[in-house]
Amino acid sequence: MNKLLLPIILFNFLAIKTIAQKKDTTKAIILNQIEVTEERSFTVNSKLPDLKDNVIYAGKKVEVIQLAQSHADLSTNNARQVFAKVPGISVWENDGSGIQVGIASRGLSPNRSWEFNVRQNGSDISSEAFGYPEAYYTPPMEALEKIEVVRGAASLQYGPQFGGLLNYQVKKGNPDKPMSIESQQTIGSFGLYDTYNAIGGTNGKVSYYSFLHYRSADGWRDNSQYRTLTGYGSIRYQFSTKLNIQLDYTRSSFKSQQPGGLTDQQFADNPRQSSRKRNWFNAPWNIVSMTLKYAFAPNLNLQIKSFATISERNSVGFTKAINVEDAIDPKTLQYSARQVDRDYYQNFGWEARLSWRYNIMGKENLLAGGVRVYSGNTKRNQLGIGTTGSDFDLTLANQEFGRSLQFTTANLAFFAENIFYLSKRWKVVPGIRLENIKNTAEGYINSTATGCINSDSRTRNFVLVGMGSEFLVSPTTNLYGNFSQAYRPVTFSELTPSATTDIIDPNLKDASGYNIDLGYRGSIKSFLNFDVGVFYLNYENRIGSINQNNQVFRTNIGTSVSKGIESFIELNVVKAISENSKVGDFSLFASNAFIDATYVKWNNPAISGDPTKSIEGKRVENAPSFIHRFGATYAVAHFSATCQLSSVSDVFTDAANTELPNAIATIGKIKGYEVLDVSAQFRFPKNFTLKAGINNLTNANYTTRRSGGYPGPGILPGNGRTIFVGVGVKF
């Protein structure tokens, strides 16, 4: 970390010095309300309009990633590259296929992005919003126009999650042509083949967009082949200047071989090896949504969004610890039977949002609020006895599962925020959210007489409040601050024990807390883009497991606090000197986060008197103390090239901060790592593009996580060096 500190300080100093020396002398009239459009000269922008789709973004920490400007490897959804310019985003990189992106920030867990409210075009896409908020589906990045990331302040408008909002925005049909076609074809190392084909346009009152995406590869590790197919269709009809309706449908399906985890020694010997060839994963995903927009008047707008997710999560494999060999029995000459687990999700939601611009004492203000109704249904079948084969096969030997559970979630929420424009420069944004959540669980956890569980129902009503503010320092820069409460209901896995010997704390509480942001952001003409701030995240009543009287006791283990600095600076060195340079553009960026995520309270009275058991003062598991990403891009005429370095600190994988790994490699410290990526692109004068890159140029051996279950257990390595070449056409 020390060797990186000097260049970070130097880069920030040079950028700030540039701001001081080159002041923006443009004269501008500052109005009561300023809606900043998204500046296309930067890959990432830290500002959305005050109001967008009847949601208020003023006073919130926002990053918008423009995919058209990105040099990331979109063919494999390379998350460390796609989110490189969003400071503090930690990535679990065990999924080289890019099928499931797992990210987090501020010391939260990246497990399938479950601390974020994950959406596509504003509609929920996770397996279940509250009880099982994991995102098994990630859209192909080639299909996206942009990605919106709103930190914890999104809890008031989108839901109570600690992480905030992650919204994937799919491209739209060309508004100026009745038909336009786009095609991207990519090949790469280890059998990679990626094809993306889309058609869209606008004809009169009808606008449409549709794509078909397919990706397959053998995988960098042994036994890691995958195939994924995604289709999407969208059509919008403009009935009048006031009314339009849009229908979207997404169908995604993949089959992925899971190579399993490794012990630490296996990882050191050869991180590409695998001792699991019979493990497979599959998740058919269907998402449908309808969006109605109606303008009652120029100052009064309504949006109604209805959506549904009907999906599955299926796995089959040999799930024992990594130090147990999956071998053929010499007596039967067969493998042992595999375990089959199947989840079925049927989720339905409806959101209505209204925005109203009104005047008080001659000043225009803005109110945005709405209501959300949500129903989630999960059928969970586990511990099925499967086949002894090696292919993807969900057939059961006895047609029964060892565990069968039914979960439901009902949610009703009311929310509102208001922008008060106190002066030409200063705005204040108070907000509130009222939540009603009801979870139920019933079924059996094993086939014994004591395996059935009593029907359990939990209902909670709570209120979240928040306050944001912005102060316009100049026409293109502002100070911002925000405080927003957050909440995490007890999830399905925490409502029921995983075995009959487990004990659930009868006083188990939902987690709660809050996020605080304070920062300075903006741009200076076309040469500097920045967002520098501090954060504080309080997470009370974290739920975890401890050993007590030789039994597993699941309870609220304590309170954690994450605090630190998030800094992003992008400087176009050439444009800072001259707007009319003939030598091309050379830009640098630094995306830095310093994170102090620790447990500040250990609240289990049964063992709090034993200092060897307390986690107070320990680092939060899976929380890096720093995440740094640096990059440089050179562009001239039709050519551009980018080099990016990612540096992440070590992490602990359990709350007790165990240094040495256990025999099955599910806990133990993970070393920090550095990964270097390079890419280049050439745009031909007419409609063609050629792109190539090398991911992990130095072929570094690294890991970002340990797993206790699927897709492990054990160490899950990140990909080594891979190469890709792609050609695109658009007309």
pLDDT tens digit string along 211-263?
Answer: 999 999 999 999 999 999 999 999 999 999 999 999 999 999 999 999 999 99
**What's the whole-model pTM score?**
0.92
Banded model confidence at residue 180, pLDDT cuts 50, 70, 90: very high
What's the pLDDT at 230?
98
Residue with tokens 């796609």: 82
pLDDT tens digit string along 16-64?
Answer: 344 334 444 333 333 333 333 333 456 777 678 999 999 999 999 999 9
Q: Distance between CA 341 and CA 362 in Å, rounded?
A: 62
Residue-number span of the structural domain to which 580 is assigned: 2-730
| Closest to 272 (Cα-Cα) out of 189, 166, 368 | 189
Banded model confidence at residue 608, pLDDT cuts 50, 70, 90: low
Poorest-pLDDT segment among 56-60, 348-352, 457-461, 547-551 = 547-551
What's the pLDDT at 500?
54
- Residue 149 above 50 pLDDT? yes
What's the pLDDT at 612?
63
* Three-state DSSP state, 728: strand
- pLDDT: which is higher, 197 or 322: 197
**What are the CB-based long-range contacts (under 8 Å, 24+) for 653-661?**
653/621, 653/622, 653/705, 653/706, 654/621, 655/544, 655/557, 655/558, 655/599, 655/615, 655/618, 655/620, 655/621, 656/615, 656/618, 657/615, 657/618, 657/619, 661/263, 661/264
Percent of the chain with pLDDT over 70: 90
CB atoms within 10 A of CB 298: 7
**591 is written with which tokens?**
């995306």
- Residue 77 above 90 pLDDT? yes
- Can you spell out the DSSP letters for 310-350? EEEEEEEE--S-TTS----BTTTTBPPPPEEEEEEEEEEEE
Q: What is the CATH number of the domain that holds 209?
A: 2.40.170.20
- Residue 82 above 50 pLDDT? yes
- Which helix (H) or strand (E) is 553 found in, with range? strand 551-572
* Three-state DSSP state, 216: strand
Total of domains in the chain? 1
What's the pLDDT at 546?
66
- Can you spell out the DSSP letters for 111-173? GGGTTEEEEETTEE-SSBTTTB--------GGGEEEEEEE-GGGHHHH-S-SSEEEEEEE---
Q: Helix %, strand %, coil % for the chain, to 5?
A: 10, 55, 35
pLDDT tens digit string along 153-178?
Answer: 999 999 999 999 999 999 999 999 99
- Which helix (H) or strand (E) is 230 found in, with range? strand 226-238
- Residue 525 above 70 pLDDT? yes
Average pLDDT value over all residues in the chain: 89
CB 260 within 8 A of CB 281: no
Q: Over range 306-313, report the average pLDDT.
A: 97
pLDDT tens digit string along 454-504?
Answer: 777 889 999 999 999 999 999 999 999 999 999 998 877 676 666 555 677
- pLDDT: which is higher, 524 or 676: 676
Q: Looking at the DSSP assignment, which residues form a beta bridge with residue 715? A: 262, 706
- Which helix (H) or strand (E) is 660 found in, with range? none
Q: Over range 174-185, report the average pLDDT.
A: 96
Q: Over range 101-114, report the average pLDDT.
A: 93
**4 is written with which tokens?**
């990186």
CA count, 13 A, side-chain hemisphere, 649: 24
pLDDT tens digit string along 585-604?
Answer: 899 999 999 999 999 998 77
- Which helix (H) or strand (E) is 444 found in, with range? strand 426-444
Q: How far is CA 123 from CA 169, 369, 415, in A?
A: 10, 17, 17
